[in-house]
Amino acid sequence: MQLTLPGGGGRAARGMTLIELMIGLAIAAILLLLAAPSYRDFIANTNVRNAAENTVAGLRRANAEAVKRNAPVRFSLVGGGWSVDEVDPADGSVENAIESYKFSEGAAKASIDSLGGGTAITFNGLGRVLPANYDGAPLISDLQFSTAMVASPRILHVVVGNDKSATGIRICDTKFPSTDPSGCPAGIANR
């Protein structure tokens, strides 16, 4: 049985012509080109978010392990990532490596800057931040995450509260006011 088009004078329906197909592909290509910059920004900002989220997970793991082991556990920034280690209170040496993470595993394009120069933070057996690291390394209090992939990247901070002005371990964004749940505590600013 052959289908005929109404008013087509008996001409059989055959599908799309090559010209129609080329026009459809050209429209699809134009739409992809228009979406590419937004997609690049989305990927760059996702890298920043992944790096911040993974760092918060590492800090919380160090905190939980300190309570679980009832021993000091240190979170350290090391060579493109971080590590969580149980430490000897006498000299700060590593007694037991617990976990490590490289930013290349999920946030290769993100950059991290420790505002204040801190490279480690140690939690005691109660899960509280020690006032000083056993090995003398500067304390982490504010980590800034960004990327150079886009002109106006999202900048996030991971804040570790070790005083009365900030509590807990959290991600914040300075584009929100300090009264907003997503905002950073007063005194935290982008570098």
Quote the number of domains for the chain.
Answer: 1
Q: Per-residue confidence at 10, pLDDT binned at 50, 70, 90?
A: low
Does 187 fall in a domain?
no
Does 1 fall in a domain?
no
Render pLDDT for 92-126 as a digit per residue (tens, 0 to 9): 788 888 999 888 877 777 888 888 888 899 999 99
What pLDDT was estimated at residue 107? Answer: 76
Does 190 fall in a domain?
no
Q: CA–CA distance from 173 to each of 8, 23, 31, 154 (Å)?
A: 63, 44, 32, 8
Does 5 fall in a domain?
no
Strands 142-147 and 110-115: antiparallel
Does 51 fall in a domain?
yes
What pLDDT was estimated at residue 3? Answer: 59
Does 136 fall in a domain?
yes
CATH code, domain with 155: 3.55.40.10
Range of 156's domain?
Answer: 18-172
